[in-house]
């Protein structure tokens, strides 16, 4: 009789391998199967046992969410210890909620292990305090890349433009020009300072700064967003 399988959704952090939690490292060392996202630092995979099955979600192997859910269920049903290694934190724009819903519906036991989120780690690595007692007492986090199949978009850009404090927009570089124009159109000051960071917390980190009205051009000129 097979032993009962288990799925661990582990936050891998924003890029720097040393930002993985101790709990995440311990689970990787005992994994039978590791299913990881494309942006996960490959150094973390060395923690897994040599005999572990490593399955990567990459541009060349773009599993759909339904395929990933089925894969998690199948490996766990076979009695495997499965580590689902996700960038950042599993529940911060990582679709971890969808995966645990599927596991719960299939009666597969799981545990979610928090990870260091890019929301806080990347601005810190770029030297940008998200809050400051005299400058910013609020913090708003939104996605710049919503599911296009959704009937209604979840980000209220008009409200965001009126909201004081620091704004963190994740995965927004492809729509940066449109986002900037939308915010300005809803009243955000064109000279609002903006910083855009790519590959945050890694040795490839780059940051471009500029006013909201010109940030898209500066980012394009610097080549941020290009995969290399």
For residue 13, the domain's CATH number is 3.40.1010.10
**Confidence band of 109 (pLDDT split at 50, 70, 90):** very high
User: Which of 95, 113, 131 finishes a domain?
Assistant: 113
Mean pLDDT of 22-47: 96
How many CA atoms does the CB half-sphere of 204 hold within 13 Å?
A: 12
Cα(129)–Cα(123) distance, integer angstroms: 7
Rg value, the chain, Cα: 19
Q: Which CATH number fits the domain that encloses residue 141?
A: 3.30.950.10
Would you tell me how many other CB atoms lie within 10 Å of the CB of residue 124?
14
**Average per-residue pLDDT in the chain?**
93
Average pLDDT over residues 1-27: 91
Indicate if 102 and 184 belong to the same structural domain: no
| Total count of domains within the chain | 2
Q: Which of 92, 113, 134 is the last residue of a domain?
A: 113
Residue 214: pLDDT above 90? yes
**154 CB-near residues (< 8 Å, 6+ apart):** 143, 146
- Cβ-Cβ contacts under 8 Å for 201 (sequence gap 6 or more): 13, 14, 15, 16, 19, 118, 121, 122, 125
Residue 148: predicted pLDDT = 62
Model confidence at 201, pLDDT cuts 50, 70, 90, reads very high
Query: Does residue 153 have a pLDDT over 80?
Result: no
Does the residue 227 lie in any domain?
Answer: no
Average the pLDDT over 126-149 and give the result: 90
Greatest alpha-carbon pair distance for the chain in Å reads 66
Burial group, residue 134, by CB count within 10 angstroms (0-12, 13-18, 19+)? exposed
Assess whether pLDDT exceeds 50 at residue 66: yes
What's the rounded mean pLDDT across residues 172-186? Answer: 95
Counting beta carbons within 10 angstroms of the beta carbon of residue 172, is it exposed (0 to 12), middle (13 to 18) or buried (19 or more)?
middle
Quote the pTM value: 0.89
Task: Give yes or no for residue 41 having a pLDDT over 80.
Answer: yes
Domain membership flag for residue 167: yes
CA 179 to chain centroid? 19
Indicate whether 49 and 133 sit together in one domain: no
Q: Taking residues 198-204, what's their average pLDDT?
A: 95
Look at residue 105 and tell me if it is in a domain. yes
Q: Is residue 143 part of a domain?
A: yes
**Which residue carries 């990933």 as its tokens?**
68
pLDDT at 63: 85
pLDDT at residue 1 greater than cutoff 60: no
Same-domain status, 148 and 174: yes
Q: Residue 31's domain spans which residues? A: 6-113
Please check whether residue 204 is in contact with residue 190, taking contact to mean a CB–CB distance below 8 angstroms. no
CB within 8 A of 90, min separation 6: which ones? 9, 10, 11, 84, 96, 99, 112, 113, 114, 115
Q: What is the pLDDT of residue 146?
A: 75
Alpha-carbon span 37 to 119, nearest angstrom: 18
Give the separation between CA 99 and CA 97, rounded to whole angstroms.
5
């Amino acid at each position: 009789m097979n032993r009962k399988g288990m799925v661990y959704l582990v936050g891998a952090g924003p890029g720097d391998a040393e930002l993985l939690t101790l709990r995440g490292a311990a689970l990787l060392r005992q994994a039978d199967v590791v299913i990881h996202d494309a942006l996960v630092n490959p150094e973390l995979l060395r923690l897994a046992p040599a005999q572990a099955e490593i399955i990567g979600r990459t541009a060349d192997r773009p599993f759909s969410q339904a395929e990933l859910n089925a894969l998690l269920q199948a490996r766990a049903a076979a009695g495997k210890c499965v580590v689902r290694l996700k960038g950042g934190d599993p529940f911060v724009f990582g679709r971890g909620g969808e995966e645990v819903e599927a596991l719960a519906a299939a009666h597969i036991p799981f545990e979610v292990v928090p990870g260091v989120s890019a929301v806080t780690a990347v601005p810190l690595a770029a030297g940008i305090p998200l809050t400051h007692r005299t400058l910013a007492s609020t913090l708003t986090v939104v996605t710049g890349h919503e599911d296009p199949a959704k009937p209604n978009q979840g980000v209220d850009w008009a409200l965001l433009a009126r909201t004081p404090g620091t704004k963190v927009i994740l995965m927004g570089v492809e729509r940066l020009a449109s986002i900037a124009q939308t915010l300005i159109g809803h009243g955000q000051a064109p000279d609002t300072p903006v910083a855009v960071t790519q590959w945050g917390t890694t040795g490839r980190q780059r940051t471009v700064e500029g006013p909201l009205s010109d940030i898209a051009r500066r980012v394009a000129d610097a080549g941020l967003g290009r995969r290399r």
